[in-house]
Structure 1
Amino acid sequence: MHYDPAMIVHVTARGGLLPIMLAIASGMLAMGMALPALPLEFQSRFASGTTLIGVVMGIQSAATLLTRPWAGRMADRRGGRDTLLAGLVCTAGSGMAYSLALLPVLSPATQQAVIVAGRLLMGLGEGLMVTGGGVWAVIIAGRARAGAAMSWVGFAMFAGLGMGAAAGDVIEAHAGFFTLCLVAIALPTGGALLTVSQPPSPPQHDGSHAGARWKDLIGHIWVWGLTLALSAIGFAAISSFLVIFYAAEGWHAGGWALAAFGVGHMLARIVGTRHVDRHDVRPMVAIIMLTEAVGLAMIWLAPGPLGAAMGSFLGGLGYSLTYPLLAGPVLRQVPARFSGSAIGLFDVFFDIAAGSGAVFSGLLAGVAGPRSPFALAMVAALAGVAIMAVVPRPQRAGAE
């Protein structure tokens, strides 16, 4: 079947991207619900400090990092649909692990270990969902519109993440953690059923070609991946410690402030997606990373909860388009049959930044206070602006 890329990208409700977006959103809703709930659960139930919370929240990214080679090869050989489906199953398993941790027969140490297992499953699921969904979307939209296709996938991710954070805050407060876990199981299960109902996406190659080696791809990817990583440190600080920052200041509605990040992210995707498929992405990346830095500075210096929420919104607005903008040069410089491997390697930079950013933010918060992670992330975003000022123009696409 032939798909018109422009129609699919700009009118997604009538194109093939909508089921992919809905399936990914279901998994990210479950992931987002845990973001405000788990740090507070560790504080209230286990009296954990910020360092341990940072490790627990960051371990998901470590699992995602280890998943990337497998997810990329699976997407190239099995197709994006099957890879996305596997990720949704793992995500549902994560919610099940969180619910098992509530069993009173388990010791506190065992309960914490089960929650960590849930974070590992969520990391595995995230890697498979993002890589599989991204490859599937690019196949449907076409490589000429790869950035826009990835942008809509990211829209679904952060729409789910933002709405999940707000929903998790409300469910935790009014119905408890167990109800939250049940919803976190049901959502990706529904997404998996939707994914199964779709026709399978074709594999990028049938195995007759050797798989791409990362050392052969890294030269095309590292500068764009490094810039993505610097931007992702802000995401790590906000997703892992904004709620803790609100609690430390005695402010309420930290989950809603986290949701403001998702709202800013979605708004930027809606307005800016049409502009991401450009050859020279450097000026636009510099502008949006400067916007992210301003938002992080607002959180760092916020006199009250409204100022921090506005900073979170601005951070999401700035962070939003870094991924699709930077993914464009990556995908245009590798053969189509290795798109999954290229996306997997590109995403590794995000994983390292998100995981290490959460850990270092926890260590820094324990030493310098709960505002300090946002100052660190602001400096990282400014470093990304500097890279875009000195990096050469992207090379033209290589052989298909």
Structure 2
Amino acid sequence: MHYGPVMNSHVTTRGGLLPIMLAIGSGMLAMGVAMSALPLELQSRFASGTTMIGVIMGIQSVATVLSRPRAGRMADRLGGRNTLLCGLLCTACSALAYSFVLVPVLPLSMQQVMIMAGRLAMGLGEGLMVTGGGVWAVTTVGSARAGAAMSWVGLAIFAGLGIGTALGDVIEAHAGFGRVCLVAIALPTAGMGLTLLLPAPVRPRAGDPGSGMRWKYLIGHTWAWGLTLGLSAVGFAAISSFLVIFYADRGWHGGGWALGAFGAGHVIARLVGSRHVDRDDVRPMVAAIMLVEALGLSLIWLAPGPAWAAAGSFLTGLGFSLTYPLLALPVLRQAPAAAAGSAIGLFDVFFDIAAGTGAVLSGVLAGVAGPRSPFAMAMLAAVAGCVVMFVIRTPDSRQIIDK
């Protein structure tokens, strides 16, 4: 399987991916800016409870799940660049929808509808950005560096989220929700401009092996790796939806910075570990980093003070960081080049389902057992992911037989 010109140098790989990372990062920054501001805005403006906040935050993941089939097929047909461009447009529209809550003549019910519409648009944008950006990156650097490509794309995604959440917390506190919306519109708009300046990569032709491949031929080779990714993503869902609420409930300050600590751990792991992800057997490394994630979540769950919770958030980001590129490797190695978008799209569905259901379950659990309980649930999920890695067989490196 070959996706494009092979670049063996780590420096060359980073340099070739830098414009793509910047374009993806602009959209994820916008998502992060809104992510830390929305739960507090829902509490203060609508007096929403934890369950409702979990449902509203989880709407984005539902939309992302529904967008994956189309995003994968779009990336295979139109290319990753154009798919990423559509995702950035949806992200800007999402922030525009959020801004309608500031229109005083709209009733509260209509303002809530606009926030939900914004979450739907953000979910669609996320699906298109992640799938399109991943396909574009792998096409750019070649199959020999597919793991590193996915790792650097993930760095752009979670660095954007981490920086964006801290930035959103600061903007919300000092300038209000209106400025949050303006920043969240401007960032993906700038990313669209950058994307339009970049040349479109060569795409596989419609008659190439694997083009038009259905998901049922990919699912058998994907489900175990996707399940493990989903178990790892429960921690991300708990932290992104309820870490700020947990801090507020305990009377602690700096919830947005604790979210930023998650992003910092994620970035550090990507910078240090990206050169080690292209390996034949990913299982031992995945098991080890998921144990680190479980340790971080346990620190948040048992934290006696904000510093301990922030340290736990950092460790969770450190452990969660490389699960995606490592687990994507067995999937990509068995997918024909013309079906790379569909393969990534299917794999990402597991993350989306886990993030969405994790947010909803976290909200329900927080309402019953308190806002620290979602982190105990996520810790158990991470331990379960380690168990899956111990029982699954070594993947066959051969491609899926074309149908």
| TM-score, L = length of structure 1 | 0.97
Partner amino acid for 1:373? Answer: P
2:7 pairs with 1:5: yes
Q: CA deviation at 1:106?
A: 0.5
Please tell me whether the aligned partners of residues 236 and 357 of structure 1 are also in contact (alpha carbons under 8 angstroms).
Answer: yes
Alignment partners' CA distance in 2, 1:207 and 1:90: 30
* DSSP-derived class of the 2:204 partner: coil
2:170 pairs with 1:170: yes
* DSSP-derived class of the 1:6 partner: coil
Alignment partners' CA distance in 1, 2:212 and 2:6: 29
CA offsets 1:355-399 (integer angstroms, 9 cap, x no match):
000000000000010010000000000000001111111111316
Q: Which residue of 1 aligns with 2:306?
A: 305
Q: Which residue of 2 aligns with 1:33?
A: 33
Q: CA deviation at 1:3?
A: 4.7
Alignment partners' CA distance in 2, 1:316 and 1:101: 32
Alignment partners' CA distance in 1, 2:268 and 2:359: 25
- For structure 1, the residue ranges without an aligned partner over 5 or more in a row are none
Q: Which residue of 2 aligns with 1:338?
A: 339
| TM-score, L = length of structure 2 | 0.97
2:86 pairs with 1:86: yes
2:277 pairs with 1:276: yes
Partner amino acid for 1:313? Answer: F
C-alpha change, 1:10 and 1:27, in structure 2 (3 Å) is same
Partner amino acid for 2:378? Answer: A
Q: Which residue of 1 aligns with 2:62?
A: 62
Alignment of 1:228-267 (within 5 A): 228-267=229-268
Q: CA deviation at 1:211?
A: 1.3
Alignment partners' CA distance in 2, 1:296 and 1:114: 33
2:349 pairs with 1:383: no
2:195 pairs with 1:215: no
CA offsets 1:64-95 (integer angstroms, 9 cap, x no match):
00000000000001000000000000001011
Q: CA deviation at 1:335?
A: 1.0
Q: Which residue of 1 aligns with 2:114?
A: 114
Q: Which residue of 1 aligns with 2:100?
A: 100
Please tell me whether the aligned partners of residues 75 and 340 of structure 1 are also in contact (alpha carbons under 8 angstroms).
Answer: yes
Q: Which residue of 2 aligns with 1:20?
A: 20
Alignment partners' CA distance in 2, 1:395 and 1:101: 51
Q: CA deviation at 1:11?
A: 4.2
Q: Which residue of 2 aligns with 1:150?
A: 150
Please tell me whether the aligned partners of residues 89 and 189 of structure 2 are also in contact (alpha carbons under 8 angstroms).
Answer: yes
Partner amino acid for 1:31? Answer: M
CA offsets 1:131-178 (integer angstroms, 9 cap, x no match):
000000000111111111000000000110000001000000001100
Please tell me whether the aligned partners of residues 301 and 375 of structure 2 are also in contact (alpha carbons under 8 angstroms).
Answer: yes
CA offsets 1:88-122 (integer angstroms, 9 cap, x no match):
00001011111122101111010010011001000
Please tell me whether the aligned partners of residues 84 and 133 of structure 1 are also in contact (alpha carbons under 8 angstroms).
Answer: yes
Partner amino acid for 1:64? Answer: T
2:116 pairs with 1:123: no
Q: Which residue of 2 aligns with 1:46?
A: 46
CA offsets 1:204-230 (integer angstroms, 9 cap, x no match):
333677512111100110000000000
Alignment partners' CA distance in 1, 2:8 and 2:260: 30
Alignment partners' CA distance in 2, 1:369 and 1:11: 48
Q: CA deviation at 1:286?
A: 0.2
Q: Which residue of 2 aligns with 1:76?
A: 76
Q: Which residue of 1 aligns with 2:187?
A: 187
Please tell me whether the aligned partners of residues 232 and 320 of structure 2 are also in contact (alpha carbons under 8 angstroms).
Answer: yes
Q: Which residue of 2 aligns with 1:374?
A: 375
Alignment partners' CA distance in 2, 1:10 and 1:395: 30
2:318 pairs with 1:321: no
The percentage of counterpart residues that share the same residue type is: 71
CA offsets 1:193-212 (integer angstroms, 9 cap, x no match):
00000011222333677512
Please tell me whether the aligned partners of residues 77 and 207 of structure 1 are also in contact (alpha carbons under 8 angstroms).
Answer: no
Count of aligned pairs between the two proteins: 397
Partner amino acid for 1:280? Answer: D
Alignment partners' CA distance in 2, 1:252 and 1:75: 42
Please tell me whether the aligned partners of residues 292 and 316 of structure 2 are also in contact (alpha carbons under 8 angstroms).
Answer: yes
* DSSP-derived class of the 2:48 partner: coil
Please tell me whether the aligned partners of residues 24 and 133 of structure 2 are also in contact (alpha carbons under 8 angstroms).
Answer: yes
Moved more, 111-120 or 390-399: 390-399
Partner amino acid for 2:90? Answer: C
Partner amino acid for 1:224? Answer: W
Please tell me whether the aligned partners of residues 72 and 131 of structure 2 are also in contact (alpha carbons under 8 angstroms).
Answer: yes
Please tell me whether the aligned partners of residues 290 and 385 of structure 1 are also in contact (alpha carbons under 8 angstroms).
Answer: yes
Alignment partners' CA distance in 1, 2:384 and 2:352: 18
Please tell me whether the aligned partners of residues 238 and 358 of structure 2 are also in contact (alpha carbons under 8 angstroms).
Answer: yes
Alignment partners' CA distance in 2, 1:195 and 1:3: 20
Partner amino acid for 1:140? Answer: T
Please tell me whether the aligned partners of residues 37 and 168 of structure 1 are also in contact (alpha carbons under 8 angstroms).
Answer: yes
Alignment partners' CA distance in 2, 1:320 and 1:368: 28
